[in-house]
Chain A
Amino acid sequence: MFSILPDTLSFRLTLLYAIAFGIFLLTAFGLALLLVRTSMNNEINDDLTEDIIQYRNLIRNEGLEQGLGEIKRDVKPGSVDEFIKLFDTHGKNIYSSDPGAWKGLEINKDIISKIAAAPSAPDIYFETRKIPAREFETRIAYSMIGPDTIIQIGNSLEQTAAMLALLLSLFLISFLVVIPAAFIFGWFITRRAVSGIEKVSDAATAIKNGKLDSCVDIAGQSREIQNLVDTFNSMAHRIRELITEMREMIDNIAHDLRTPLGRIRMISEMTLSTVDNDACKSAAANTLEQCDKLLQYINATLDVAEAEAGVATGQYGPVDISAVTRDACDLYETIAEEKNIRFTTVLQPDCIVSGNRQNLQRMIANILDNALKYTPVNGNVDVHLDKDGKNIRISIADTGIGIPLSEQQRVFDRFFRCDQSRAEEGCGLGLSFSRAVARSHHGDILLTSTAGNGSEFIISIPSRL
């Protein structure tokens, strides 16, 4: 399973990839534009320089009158692409190719004064200027071409502008194509990169949920991922080994302790049903009772160990938790009656969870048992079961002795018994077992209590979809 949520690695990497790609593209195009613009400017400068030199030679060889005739032929009056203007160092007009189309054209006084300062030098000065009457910018050159005659020659930059506009639209189009492509490509690349991690994560989740034989089976991944996969698999293998060892150990303890106990029990039972002596009968009955207590204790210890390790015992399947709770309440009804406890149950019917029926029965029975045990005569015990969104919520509230704040954290610990509970029978394993069961069903048990006022245990377990 993967997702495109903003906090996933895939999404972030893809986004970074696309942003980096966009920046590269932008830089490349910026450089291209600069290059094109510069080279086109240079070309126009060369053209203008060539024209100026040609006209200067013309005027020098043939005189101003003759030369002007040539120039008039060369640059069509009324042309919108180019213009020529001749004037003296005071700015007095000698000739202008078209005063209409280039209306608003001014003379750069700084350049004129520089030219006038060194009349013999054939320097050419350039400027780019926007002329109000023209749409595009104009590249303008100034130079001395004859005695007291300055030429101002200009070329429209329309072509450069058109070229740049073309480049810009090209850039926009490629941007629109490349960025989504970068997203898709980046997504593809990162998906490939993180798919291995996701497989490891899936396997870890499966192990967490009790599927201990899960491992990651992938090949052809990059070395980092492969290392992770290998380490994970050997870790999973080790966990499997430990769990197997633990199971065997539990079985061995169960067997080794229970075999002699079973024999004692059998001997006592037979004695009890065969002898006629009252003292013997009583001794046998006592032995039998203590055997059962010891057995119960051993079993409870092993059950908690197993439940906490998440080792699934017995079968899992859909369990009608409403019915289980109803049966448990039914079971304890008589106890409540005997203690004259007001026992109210409000159970939403047909709530189904996925789990182990036997363990769920015990979980609820344990908490109910505590509630009734620690609630004094004439108290209240209320059981509520309802569906709260995705969770089934079972609340068991009593008006019993309550649990002091300092002990609330520890009541779920193994073998922990509150000071006030020592008078009652029990081994301090009921709540730890119950919580381990709730957790192995992806739920939990919460406790709110005030000493002297009672306790409320709230079990929540995800509903079966």
Chain B
Amino acid sequence: MKLLLIEDDRIIADFVIKGLKEAGYAIEHASDGETGLARVISGNFDLAIIDIMLPRLDGLTVISKIRERKINLPIIILSARRSVDERISGLQSGSDDYLTKPFSFSELLARVEALLRRASQVVEASTLSIKDLEIDLLARSVTRSGKKIDLQPREFALLEYLIRNKGRVVSKTMIMERVWDYNFDPGTNVVEARISKLRDKIDKGSSDPLIHTIRGLGYVIK
């Protein structure tokens, strides 16, 4: 998988490149809009991460030029604006995603993988599993070591989201956004409370707990 990052912030770019390389991706970097657009046109990328505020040619223009050329490239848009810009929602195609700065790397990685998965159009499995925990997406049932576990709909959605990102840390923000459709942090740690309740049901009495808290980053199922 070959990715392109168009970002002028040297420090952010370095870390993103380092992180994505560690995650096993080939990544190229352009630090201004013009160079970035030229790379997109000449190279054969699977996905691009484009910042909105860029020198020489701004990110929105780059994206519209890519679309004009009918290059079907999934794009993750990075923006310093706090709310989804109307101009961006106008440009966004179905295969794009949007991330506000500052973002956590784990969130970027999760979005990259989700977009690539969608682009490759892999047929979704109807069951997901990790170790001895198995969830059936159609029957909406959960079993651990063959024993049925009763979950509320939101708990099921939370577990499903964790398992889809198994082995990867998901942040509180990501959980709020994906499970509750909340784009803000509502103060009291409601996610923590939910996780601990889910943990009670999944890991209780087990010698091998699946859900882990990574301080400062979020939660991971592994």
Judge whether A365 and B186 touch: CB under 8 Å.
Answer: yes
Judge whether B80 and A258 touch: CB under 8 Å.
Answer: yes
Q: How far is the CA of A287 from the CA of B86 in the complex (A)?
A: 33
Q: How far is the CA of A255 from the CA of B79 in the complex (A)?
A: 9
Judge whether A331 and B180 touch: CB under 8 Å.
Answer: yes
Q: How far is the CA of A407 from the CA of B80 in the complex (A)?
A: 37
In the complex, whether A229 has a CB less than 8 A from a CB of chain B is: no
User: Using a CB-CB cutoff of 8 Å, which residues 40-74 of chain A contact chain B?
Assistant: none
Can you name 11 A-B pairs with beta carbons within 8 Å? A258-B102, A259-B80, A262-B102, A269-B104, A270-B105, A272-B214, A331-B180, A331-B190, A334-B197, A365-B184, A366-B187
Judge whether A358 and B81 touch: CB under 8 Å.
Answer: no
Chain B residues with CB under 8 A of A296 = 185
Q: How far is the CA of A334 from the CA of B186 in the complex (A)?
A: 14
Interface residues on chain A, size class: 35 or more
In the complex, whether A313 has a CB less than 8 A from a CB of chain B is: yes
In the complex, whether A330 has a CB less than 8 A from a CB of chain B is: yes
Closest Cβ of chain B: how far from A221's Cβ, in Å? 36
Judge whether B193 and A338 touch: CB under 8 Å.
Answer: yes
In the complex, whether B84 has a CB less than 8 A from a CB of chain A is: yes
Interface residues on chain B, size class: 35 or more
Chain A residues with CB under 8 A of B217 = 269, 272-273, 285, 288
Interface residues of B (CB under 8 A from A): 9, 11-12, 15-16, 18-19, 53, 80-84, 86, 89, 101-106, 154, 169, 180-188, 190, 193-194, 197, 214-217
Q: How far is the CA of A314 from the CA of B214 in the complex (A)?
A: 32
Judge whether B101 and A259 touch: CB under 8 Å.
Answer: yes
Q: Kindly list the 6 A-B residue pairs having the minimum CB-CB distance in the complex, ordered from nearest.
A: A262-B102, A285-B216, A288-B216, A334-B193, A365-B186, A285-B215
In the complex, whether A189 has a CB less than 8 A from a CB of chain B is: no
In the complex, whether A89 has a CB less than 8 A from a CB of chain B is: no
Known contacts A267-B11, A272-B216: does B188 contact A262 (CB below 8 Å)? no
Q: How far is the CA of A313 from the CA of B16 in the complex (A)?
A: 29
Q: How far is the CA of A251 from the CA of B102 in the complex (A)?
A: 14
Majority secondary structure of chain B interface residues (helix, strand, loop or mixed) = loop
Judge whether B102 and A261 touch: CB under 8 Å.
Answer: yes
0 or 1 for each of A269-281: is its CB under 8 Å from B? (1 = yes) = 1101100000001
Closest Cβ of chain B: how far from A213's Cβ, in Å? 14
Q: Pick the contact of B184 from A284, A287, A337, A358 — CB < 8 Å?
A: A358
Q: How far is the CA of A251 from the CA of B11 in the complex (A)?
A: 21
Q: How far is the CA of A263 from the CA of B15 in the complex (A)?
A: 9
Closest Cβ of chain B: how far from A376's Cβ, in Å? 15
Closest Cβ of chain A: how far from B149's Cβ, in Å? 17
Judge whether A302 and B102 touch: CB under 8 Å.
Answer: no
Closest Cβ of chain B: how far from A110's Cβ, in Å? 100
In the complex, whether A75 has a CB less than 8 A from a CB of chain B is: no
Closest Cβ of chain B: how far from A425's Cβ, in Å? 7
Q: Nearest B residue to A287 by beta-carbon distance?
A: B216
List 7 additional A-B contacts (Cβ < 8 Å) besides A295-B102, A372-B188: A254-B82, A266-B102, A269-B105, A269-B216, A281-B215, A361-B182, A362-B184
User: Using a CB-CB cutoff of 8 Å, which residues 294-333 of chain A contact chain B?
Assistant: 295-296, 299, 302-303, 313-315, 327, 330-332
Chain B residues with CB under 8 A of A272 = 214, 216-217
Which of B19, B104, B105, B190 has the most chain A CB atoms closer than 10 A to its own CB?
B190
0 or 1 for each of A333-354: is its CB under 8 Å from B? (1 = yes) = 0110110000000000000000
Chain A residues with CB under 8 A of B81 = 251, 254
Chain A residues with CB under 8 A of B18 = 270
Known contacts A258-B80, A269-B217, A270-B105: does B188 contact A358 (CB below 8 Å)? no
Q: How far is the CA of A228 from the CA of B171 in the complex (A)?
A: 55
Judge whether B216 and A331 touch: CB under 8 Å.
Answer: no
Q: Pick the contact of B104 from A255, A265, A303 — CB < 8 Å?
A: A265
Q: Nearest A residue to B188 by beta-carbon distance?
A: A369
Chain B residues with CB under 8 A of A365 = 182, 184, 186-187
Q: How far is the CA of A268 from the CA of B11 in the complex (A)?
A: 12
Known contacts A258-B101, A335-B190, A365-B186: does B180 contact A268 (CB below 8 Å)? no
Known contacts A254-B80, A295-B102, A313-B83: does B15 contact A266 (CB below 8 Å)? yes
